[in-house]
Amino acid sequence: MATNLKFYGINETLRYLKDYEKDLYKTLRKDLVTKAQPLSRLVGSRFPDKPLSNWHSSGDRRGAARMPPYMVGKAKAGVKPIAGTGSSRGKGQVILRIQQKDAGAQVYDSAGRGNYETSGSTFINNLDSKSSKKSNRGTTRSRIMFGAVKGNQKMIEQDVLEVIKKVDAYTTKAINAGTGR
């Protein structure tokens, strides 16, 4: 789930920089990640200390479903900004996304989104009882990530625009110098 801020031409420029100006490309990616840190910490802070009373919090995956543990520290710290020129499931190229890297927190955030779950799944119903939004079979859902990012996207928009302006300034300078492709 993503909130899209559309920029035209930035992905082509980033791909060019990745191939021909690796140092500048790495610097711009690092700038994007650095500027997105406050948002990722805010989103991480929204994960609950204890989502369900019987969800194990240590060790490996358990049970027939191979459920990952939910460890509150990893859940809160696992929200990371990722910069690059990846794709977003047919929605175009992505230059920045906020992603949960912890498996247990991913399960908490998105369990119940596939057609494989029955409408009466006890696990999904218990997770939904902690949230105001209920799961609907066959639809995507997010208990924390989507709403927290969407509600705070203003925190990052200006910072992304600053990085885009740096890329634009470099591209304009390269074109004017005749070094562009």
pLDDT, residue 33, reads 92
Structure tokens at 83: 């910069």
- The pLDDT of 121-148, averaged and rounded, is 72
Q: DSSP for 12-61? A: HHHHHHHHH-HHHHHHHHHHHHHHHHHHHHHHHHTS-S-S-TTS--SSS-
Q: What is the DSSP letter of 116?
A: T
**Among the listed ranges 33-37, 38-42, 57-61, 125-129, which one has the minimum average pLDDT value?**
125-129
pTM of structure? 0.76
C-beta atoms surrounding 156 within 10 Å? 22
